[in-house]
Chain A
Amino acid sequence: MKNLYIFIVVLFIPWSFSLAKYDEFEDGDDIMEYDDNDFAEFEDVSEDTVTESPQRIITTEDDEEEATVELEGQDENQEDFDDADTQEGDAESEPYDDEEFEGYEEKPDASHSKNKDPITIVNVPAHLQNSWESYYMEILMVTGLLAYIMNYIIGKNKNNRLAHAWFNTHRELLESNFALVGDDGTNKEATSTGKLNQENEHIYNLWCSGRVCCEGMLIQLKFLKRQDLLNVLARMMRPASDQVQIKVTMNDEDMDTYVFAVGTRKALVRLQKEMQDLSEFCSDKPKSGAKYGLPDSLAILSEMGEVTEGMMDAKMIHFLTHYADKIDSVQFSDQFSGPKLMQEEGQLTKLPETKKTLLFTFNVPGSGNTSPKDMESLLPLMSMVIYSIDKAKKFRLNREGKQKADKNRARVEENFLKLTHVQRQEAAQSRREEKKRAEKERIMNEEDPEKQRRLEEAALRREQKKLEKKQMKMKQIKVKAM
């Protein structure tokens, strides 16, 4: 409808323009009246030009000339027949004479033939063509959007199904081991919701607690972003798999002090770089676990050999060998504080808080093309987790090991303090300066001159005492040095 309107407007403008020239003819009939033989050519020519110009949007100069020529010619005739006013009132009122107009027969023909060559047919702009084909880019875009929306819905549903399949398989085991399964933090009392907590379209959380020796366990089902088409396409280049991440926070008294990790070599190398505790306490490169009977794919990172010995008992080895393909990394640490924080030099004044944690990362089999049935294969891994909790509680370092561990921790703390020594000094300095400034302000603000004097004196005395103390210390140091 809109296109039609625009088309009509476009036609109207040049047509009205051409009409202006032929203003002298008040009716179209006037043109028809000149049906004499001598005017036959003119009639055809004039009709042609009148009907052609609306379609040809461009009019050439020759056309205009021809029109004016014709106008003049026809003006002359009109005065004999009509009293209509003409804009060019130059018409000669000569009687019509055949011979006079002979020359005109050729001119219009000549100019007309000249005109036919340079006439160009303008391309009608695409949006006036009134066809959908010209909008193919838009149709493409809209199709793309629809495809994205379809993928979003399909991906979301698949992730949902996978999560619930996982939960249904593991529900029994969890409920038998934990008193509180599923909590979203909104209720005042600690009641079991028995449901997964959906954080995202691809991340589901589950909090379990109420077991001996551990504070709680947070399970995160980190699925692939199936709801995002870009991600799906990216995954076609680089396959990845869904992950189940389990973080068990232990009570302080239930775990001894050690740092230990087992996993695929690639994962351990990455963790060693990223994780604060692994990078500080486990300085060696990941060692192969073949010594303990583990498959080649797994490696071990440990604070000291004794820990490895203690951890690698028969059952653990059994778990690790059987489910090696599903294990990404297993980390037991009493100094766990998460990944290294990228802080500026000046801000690091305190060691990050640590918590005794067991961290498990499992890969869901299927490498992206998982089905809900694959979730059942993860069940034995959960038993491994439960076993590890008990094991961590039971395992205690002997005296030597404990001494080594304490030494390590003291060393790490010292290093940290040295690094931040400069910052802490600066911080202390600035604090002292602020105190002085505050005091001075107080003195200035005191209206009573006597009080002012007294406060000033008190401040002076304090400063003198400090200087004396410093001098004493310096003397003592000098004496000791000697």
Chain B
Amino acid sequence: PNPPVPHPRYKPPATETNPALEDPTPDYMNLLGMVFSMCGLMLKLKWCAWIAVYCSFISFANSRSSEDTKQMMSSFMLSISAVVMSYLQNPQPMSPPW
């Protein structure tokens, strides 16, 4: 084991922001969540709104710490609003597709 040299070198190389290597899951889920929540709002489909909530949760779980929280929060709020609006317009419980 070599003794450590007294002149340490520089900082981490910006941890490779190589777009090809990055996991695209949080971005896809974000987009999907927004699409589903718009569907749920426009077409008044409850299951769309619920799936949107799930998508935004998944996107949050997979996100990188460097990512903007505003984006995450906005998609989350949109999906919650989609669910609430669907229920206000039509308080009937969701019917299963089968």
Contact = CB atoms under 8 A, between A and B. Distances in A.
Contacts of A135: 93-94
B66 interface: yes
Given A127-B92, A138-B94, A198-B65, A179 B11 contact: no
Contacts, number: 107
A222 to B, nearest CB: 11
A152 interface: yes
A205 interface: yes
Given A125-B92, A126-B93, A207-B11, A200 B4 contact: no
Interface of B: 1-2, 4-16, 18, 20-21, 50, 53-54, 57-58, 61-66, 91-96
A185 B14 contact: yes
A180 interface: yes
Contact of B20 (A149, A216, A230, A341): A341
B9 A216 contact: yes
Given A126-B93, A144-B54, A179-B5, A199 B64 contact: yes
Contacts of A149: 57
Contacts of B12: 183-185, 197, 205, 207, 216, 218
Interface residues of A, number: 50
B74 to A, nearest CB: 19
B5 A210 contact: yes
Interface in A128-176: 134-138, 141, 144-145, 148-149, 152, 176
Main secondary structure of the interface of B (DSSP, over half): loop
B93 A145 contact: no
A339 B21 CA distance: 9
Given A205-B12, A227-B61, A210 B7 contact: yes
Interface in A271-287: none
Given A183-B11, A211-B4, A339-B21, A152 B61 contact: yes
B8 to A, nearest CB: 3
Contacts of B66: 199
B10 A190 contact: yes
Nearest to A207: B12
Contacts of B10: 190, 209, 216
Contact of B4 (A136, A176, A218, A342): A176
A179 B93 CA distance: 63
23 contacts: A126-B92, A127-B91, A134-B93, A137-B93, A141-B50, A144-B54, A145-B53, A148-B54, A148-B58, A176-B4, A190-B8, A199-B66, A205-B12, A207-B11, A210-B4, A210-B5, A210-B9, A212-B2, A215-B9, A216-B10, A228-B58, A230-B58, A339-B20
A454 B63 CA distance: 64
A137 B94 contact: yes
Contacts of A148: 54, 57-58, 61
B59 to A, nearest CB: 10
A190 B63 CA distance: 29
A464 interface: no
B8 A210 contact: yes
A165 B94 CA distance: 46
A201 interface: yes
Contacts of A125: 92
Those 3 A-B pairs whose CB atoms lie nearest each other, nearest first: A210-B8, A180-B8, A207-B12
